[in-house]
Amino acid sequence: MMDAPEEAAWLQRAAEGDESAFVLLVEKHQDRVYGTVARMLGQDHVSEAEDVAQQVFLRVFRAAGRYRPEAKFTTWLFTICRNCVWTHLKKAGRWHRDEPVSGEDGGELDPLDALPDPEAADAASGMLRKEMVGTLEKAIAELPESQRMALILRQYEQLDYEEIARVLDQSVPGVKSLLFRARTRLRAALDEYLQGT
């Protein structure tokens, strides 16, 4: 999704005290921010996700005057989102330490693609899908934070490698390595289901 030029203008107006401009910005991006925060914190922490998403926008408002249009707005926004989520996880004692980044190529094979068709009609298939989705959500929640954030930004937010690299303050090969390791862990978690596909 490309940034609209209006976002820089909204931020500028917000920095000058125009709350209506800030409301427009929040309305445009609140679903993306909340979705990313909720996926990072996991399904058992919905109320925390609402609080952290509010913190993200509070920080955006406070930093509005420091935004420079040469940086893509969503990169800036998701960097603030990352910082808020990681701070929250550390304070809550739920921080998973990442492994050092190595040189895996981060191939695009994705275990999420192996989930059964959501339109499948029979009850057994629906139960299997529900069980698989639960297993997948648990596996995503157990990923180290950098891997989880890279996966969420790539899979759900459709960001390219370069933008994810800027959000995570990593190199593009580092992002590909994070994604490779995340997908490897997810494939292992879904192995019993994938064997039957």
Q: What is the CATH number of the domain that holds 172?
A: 1.10.10.10
Contacts 24+ apart (CB under 8 A), 37-41: 37/81, 37/84, 37/85, 39/140, 39/148, 39/152, 39/156, 40/85, 40/89, 40/145, 40/148, 40/149, 40/152, 41/85, 41/88, 41/89
Question: Quick one: 140 and 173 in the same domain?
Answer: yes
Query: What pLDDT is recorded for position 195?
Result: 67
Same domain for 73 and 133?
A: no
Q: What is the pLDDT of residues 17-42, one digit of tens each?
A: 999 999 999 999 999 999 999 999 88
Q: Is the pLDDT of residue 57 over 90?
A: yes
Distance of CA 1 to CAs 68, 161, 163, Å? 19, 14, 12
Q: How many domains does the chain have?
A: 2
> Confidence class of residue 97 from pLDDT cuts 50, 70 and 90?
low
Same domain, 120 and 157: yes
Could you tell me the residue range of the domain that residue 29 belongs to?
Answer: 6-91
Q: What is the pLDDT of residues 63-88, one digit of tens each?
A: 998 888 877 899 999 999 999 999 99
In a domain, 97, yes or no: no
Which pTM value belongs to this model? 0.75
Q: Residue 103: inside a domain, yes or no?
A: no
pLDDT of residue 96: 63
Of 91, 126, 153, which marks where a domain is finished?
91
Give the pLDDT score at 108: 47
